[in-house]
A and B are shown apart, each in its own frame.
Chain A
Amino acid sequence: MQIEAKPIHNAAAPEEAAFSPPETKAYVRFWRTLLARKIVVAGLAVLVLAVLAAIFAPLLAPYDPVAQNLSNSLQPPSSEHWLGTDKLGRDVLSRVIYGARVSLAVGFVSVAIAGSIGMLLGLIAGYAGGWIESVVMRCMDVMMSIPLIILALFIGSVLGKGLGNVMLAIGIGMIPTYARLTRGQVKSIKQLDYVTAGTLGGASKLKNAFVHILPNCISPNIVLMTMNLGSAILIEAALSFLGLGINPPMASWGAMVSDGYNHLRTLPLLSIAPGVVIMIVVLAFNIVGDALRDTLDPRLRGSL
């Protein structure tokens, strides 16, 4: 709070400001730029809400998401069941709230898998060069030649259904983008003077790679990760929709859309409600990702 007031003083005394530039800390400047637009604030708010819903699902959900009540199946919205019930009599609202756990977990874990392995491979390829680079990057080309959802389907069909395997399948499928991005970064940073200085100063190759180069590749990777969170959630939903995602009776938004498809004539809300939630959450991740990219590195605008 104290720091936020500073620029106003500076604005009031422009001459003084010209001699001593405002000493705003980097992270304050970062948040201020990031939150300058209302839409970004809204996006962040949605994400905070989604995370809270996922964490406090047992407190928020009015019913047990997997408790069946066949005598009460396919009910339209009512004061007891705000979004109605599905064919097994389960409360749709509770399942939507619990579904946030699956979607967010898949999003964060798969992106973390892709980001860490991809960055490591990119670092190795970019730093080592030569045949190691060729081998790694050709393998990445191979993975990129197969559309992500088909690759995830393919890997998932070998691993089997289930939450962990879906995370792994999506995570592996997303590795190439991070490897490519990091390799490009490493190759240009490697030639900078400070790395040469490090080598001359006796830094080992390992130290150079991990201490001097890697930290400087992280910010574009974080941007890419934020942008990929939405894609990961969409792919999980698609896999679950196709029946190759997480196992029932666990609530997944994609599987809920698919279940509702059979009752489209009588109770379209069963499909519509979870889909709207997917759209809002993915949109929020995309908006925040875009804003993060513009804030961290304006030069990347439109390039990721």
Chain B
Amino acid sequence: MTLFIVRRFVQTAVVLLIVTLLVFMIMRSMPGDPVVMFLGPDASQEQIDHYTAVFGLDQPLAVQYMKWLGNIATGEFGKSIVYRQDIGPFILERLKVTLTIAIPAFLISVVAGVLLGVTAAVRRGRLLDSLITVMANLGMATPIFWLSILCVYIFSLKLGWLPVQGFTWPTENFSLAIQKMIMPVLLLSLGPLASYARQARSAMLEVIRQDYIRTGRSKGLGERTIIFKHALRNALIPIITLMGLQLGHLIGGSVLIEQVFVIPGMGNMLITAILNKDYQLVQTGVFVIAASVSLCNLLVDIAYGYVDPRIRIS
């Protein structure tokens, strides 16, 4: 097990190193000069040269890359060209906002998705099963930004129940924060929720057929014990795999949700940074996202290795 964990750690480190190289190379092949964008069209050549030196963009690419790697190691990322702030603390602040929305969405999607999937499997072929399956299929096909707009129209503009947009920290004004978070969190959880429901249903159907479930029934175990204690535990394995994948979807979805609800999170920041060619901010932002996804996948794999010993060997 220790060997397995060490090996996966090394793999993740290698992947992250390649991420930095790839992100750096792609960023530098982007058309347009960020300093010109920063200073505006009226800037003199002197000003451009001065700021190019300030942002370190006059150095050879290899030096810039090595410097950036050093920055990642020390946590000192330099200044953002667009936001004119230190990138490290700035990204951390944005990440906190995104996580405040994404973590509740993640929990809701897993719990509700698995419960709905299990319910559908247990009631296979009944009305409830069809209803859940149809809803899950719809959930996967709906563009999240469109549904968000529709919800804003219904719940904010027509009914006036919830604020149209914005973000407030729960520590500042709890009830306002919750009101503002309801729609973004639920909408963000929807896509992953639909995936979990589908996966849980098919995994559960697979498990229910097994002999040991019949053994459980024939020795007189209650239906609830059979489903939740014996069947679900095995059905969870493919769902854990899905969690790693869905994490990426959740972060991707938050880009759109943050745009619709004007939430100052990572996604919102990335779009602004990309539109303004803020090299440092984009490459650091993408790296932070890739690193979080990779680390979560690493955790999922380790959890997986504990649950299913076969994984450790392969």
Binding site for B on A (CB under 8 A): 138-139, 141-142, 144-150, 153-155, 157-158, 160, 230, 234, 237-238, 241-244, 254, 257-258, 260-261, 264-265, 268, 271-272, 274-275, 278-280, 282-283, 286-287, 301-303
Measured between beta carbons, the chain A residues less than 8 angstroms from B293 are 145-147
Among A141, A142, A286, A302, which residue has its beta carbon within 8 angstroms of that of B206? A302
Are B141 and A230 closer than 8 Å at their CB atoms? yes
Name the B residues within 8 Å of A283 (CB-CB). Answer: 137-138, 141
Where the two chains meet, the residues of B that have a C-beta atom closer than 8 Å to any C-beta of A are 11, 14-16, 18-19, 22-23, 26-27, 29-31, 137-138, 140-147, 149-150, 152-153, 157, 198-199, 202-203, 206, 238, 248-249, 251-253, 255-256, 259-260, 270-271, 274-275, 282, 286, 289-290, 293-294, 297
- Residues of A contacting B255 in the complex (Cβ-Cβ under 8 angstroms): 149-150, 153, 242
21 interchain pairs, CB-CB under 8 A = A138-B14, A138-B18, A141-B15, A146-B289, A154-B26, A157-B30, A158-B27, A160-B31, A237-B145, A237-B146, A242-B271, A264-B153, A271-B149, A271-B153, A274-B146, A275-B146, A278-B146, A286-B140, A301-B202, A302-B203, A302-B238
Whether A265 and B157, one on each chain, are in contact in the complex, defined by CB atoms closer than 8 angstroms, is yes
| A150 touching B26 in the complex, CB below 8 Å, given contacts A264-B157, A282-B141, A283-B141 | no
Which of B145, B256, B271, B286 lies at the interface centre, i.e. has the most chain A CB atoms within 10 A of its CB? Answer: B145
Q: Which residue from A148, A271, A302 sits with its C-beta under 8 Å from B248?
A: A148
* Bound: A254/B31 CA distance, A: 25
- Could you say which of B18, B141, B152, B157 contacts A279, with CB atoms under 8 Å apart? B141
Q: B274 to A157, Cβ gap below 8 A?
A: yes
Q: What total count of A-B pairs have CB within 8 Å?
A: 144
Across the interface, name the chain A residue whose C-beta is closest to B273.
Answer: A157
A272 and B157 alpha carbons, distance in the complex (Å): 15
Residues of B with C-beta under 8 A to A257: 143, 145-146, 149
- Inter-chain CA distance A243–B256, complex, in Å, is 11
The secondary-structure label for the interface of chain B is helix
User: With A and B bound together, what is the CA distance between A279 and B31 in angstroms?
Assistant: 34
Partner of A153, one of B143, B157, B274, B290: B274
Whether A279 touches B153, Cβ cut-off 8 Å, given contacts A147-B249, A150-B289, is no
Instruction: Note all chain A residues with C-beta closer than 8 A to B259.
Output: 241-242
Cβ of B152: which chain A residues have Cβ within 8 Å of it?
Answer: 264
Residues of B within 8 A of A261 (CB): 149, 260
Contacts of A149 in B (CB 8 A): 252-253, 255-256
**A147 lies within 8 A of B248 (CB):** yes
- Please determine whether B153 and A254 come into contact, CB atoms closer than 8 angstroms: no
**How many Å lie between the Cα of A258 and that of B256 in the bound state?**
11
Complex contact A264–B286 (CB within 8 A):
no
A298 to B252, CA, bound (A): 31
Q: What is the bound-complex CA distance between A237 and B27, given in angstroms?
A: 24
Residues from chain A with a CB closer than 8 A to the CB of B275 are 243-244
Distance to closest chain B CB from A239 (angstroms): 10
Contact partners of B142 in chain A: CB under 8 A: 279, 282
Does the CB pair B297–A279 fall under 8 Å? Answer: no
Q: Decide if B256 touches A241 in the complex (CB within 8 Å).
A: yes
Distance of A164 from chain B, by nearest CB (Å):
15
B251 touches A147 (CB 8 A): yes
Q: Which residue of B lies closest to A152 (CB)?
A: B252
Could you tell me the distance between the alpha carbons of A287 and B134 in the complex, rounded to whole angstroms?
Answer: 10
Asked if B251 and A150 make an inter-chain contact with CB atoms under 8 angstroms apart, the answer reads yes
A238 touches B289 (CB 8 A): no
- Establish whether residues A272 and B150, one from each chain, have CB atoms under 8 Å apart when the complex forms: yes
For the complex, give the distance between the alpha carbons of A243 and B260 in Å.
Answer: 12
The one of B143, B206, B274, B290 in contact with A275, judged by C-beta atoms closer than 8 angstroms, is B143
Q: A238-B256, A279-B138 are in contact. Are A150 and B143 (CB under 8 A)?
A: no
Question: Which residues of chain A are within 8 angstroms of B30 by Cβ–Cβ distance?
Answer: 157-158
Residues of A within 8 A of B149 (CB): 257, 260-261, 264, 271, 275
Assuming the A-B contacts A275-B150, A279-B138, are A154 and B248 also in contact, with contact meaning beta carbons closer than 8 angstroms in the complex? no
Q: Are A237 and B26 in contact (CB under 8 A)?
A: no
Q: Given the known A-B contacts A242-B255, A257-B149, are A146 and B286 also in contact in the complex, defined by CB atoms under 8 Å?
A: yes
